[in-house]
């Protein structure tokens, strides 16, 4: 691909695409040794996502959660033969899917290993993906620079998202790069000191 990588080392290349009216981040995670790749969130602009998937060897989509802005291209990618997965708690929010993603599972992408971290709160099935052995966490809409994701939606819970962040994300290393579903990257170490502020303000 001609565009510069969002993150790259000797083993992995991560490309970031910003798509749709909500400026969703879509990530392609590719093993440089085997050429296998996955797409995180078939959010929008399906023609672009299919072009990128063909160019990078994407065979599966991992969905961070079922909100409409993150799934607009699901039908198109499935029609193109790409399998789509999502946590069972959010599966009913998709038009269709191929497999469910349990908590604390490992999804192999060639020689890469993505560990699944169930982080309910933004939605019941919100899931983050930790690239094992690399300083990368794909946080979906659970954790952003400056706070947790929006919990004003039906079936969302502020208390639950705070528990998810505190117990399952803030136990991870400070230097871990957090790649959210919208906007800019941050790190665990940048965000962890502000947890009590978020609890006090209530969002």
Helix (H, G, I), strand (E, B), or coil: what is residue 166? Answer: helix
Query: What number of other Cβ atoms are within 10 A of residue 42's Cβ?
Result: 29
Q: What is the pLDDT of residue 12?
A: 98
Q: What percent of the chain has a predicted confidence (pLDDT) above 70?
A: 99
- Start-to-end C-alpha separation, the chain: 39
Asked whether residue 1 carries a pLDDT value surpassing 50, the answer given is no
Q: What percent of the chain has a predicted confidence (pLDDT) above 90?
A: 99
100-139 pLDDT, tens digit per residue, is 999 999 999 999 999 999 999 999 999 999 999 999 999 9
Q: What is the pLDDT of residue 70?
A: 98
Split at pLDDT 50, 70, 90, the class of 3 is confident
Asked whether residue 5 carries a pLDDT value surpassing 50, the answer given is yes
CA-to-CA distance for 155 and 163, rounded, in angstroms? 16
Split at pLDDT 50, 70, 90, the class of 2 is low
| Residue (of 158, 168, 152) closest to 198 by Cα position | 158
Q: 144: part of which helix (H) or strand (E)?
A: strand 143-144
Q: What is the mean pLDDT of the chain?
A: 97
161-195 pLDDT, tens digit per residue, is 999 999 999 999 999 999 999 999 999 999 999 99
Q: What is the DSSP string of the chain?
A: --SPPSEE-SSEEEEEEEETTTTEEEEEEEETTT--EEEE---S-HHHHHHHHHHHTEEEEE-S---GGG-TTHHHHHHTT-EEEE-GGGGGGSS--SEE--TT-EEEETTEEEEEEE-TTSSTT-EEEEETTTTEEEEETTEETTEEPP--STT--HHHHHHHIIIIITTS-TTPEEEESBS--EEHHHHGGGHHHHHHHT-
11-61 pLDDT, tens digit per residue, is 999 999 999 999 999 999 999 999 999 999 999 999 999 999 999 999 999
How far apart, in Å, are the Cα atoms of 7 and each of 22, 28, 46, 98?
A: 23, 10, 23, 28
Q: What is the pLDDT of residue 142?
A: 98
Which domains, ranges and CATH numbers included, belong to the chain? 7-201 (3.60.15.10)
């Amino acid at each position: 691909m001609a565009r510069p990588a969002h993150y790259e080392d000797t083993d992995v290349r991560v490309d970031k695409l910003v798509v749709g009216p909500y400026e969703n981040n879509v990530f392609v995670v590719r093993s440089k040794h085997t050429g296998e790749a996955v797409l995180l969130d078939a959010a929008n602009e399906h023609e672009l996502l299919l072009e990128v998937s063909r160019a990078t060897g994407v065979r599966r989509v991992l969905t961070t959660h079922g909100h409409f802005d993150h799934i607009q291209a699901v039908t198109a990618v499935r029609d193109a033969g790409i399998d789509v997965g999502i946590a069972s708690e959010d599966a009913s929010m998709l038009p269709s899917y191929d497999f469910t993603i349990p908590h604390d599972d490992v999804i192999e992408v060639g020689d890469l290993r993505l560990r699944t971290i169930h982080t309910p709160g933004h939605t019941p099935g919100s899931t983050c993906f930790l690239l094992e052995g690399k300083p990368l966490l794909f946080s979906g809409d659970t954790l952003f620079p400056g706070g947790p994701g929006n919990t004003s939606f039906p079936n969302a819970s502020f208390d639950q998202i705070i528990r998810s962040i505190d117990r399952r994300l803030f136990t991870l290393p400070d230097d871990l790069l957090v790649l959210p579903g919208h906007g800019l990257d941050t790190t665990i170490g940048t965000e962890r000191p502000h947890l009590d502020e978020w609890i006090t303000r209530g969002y």
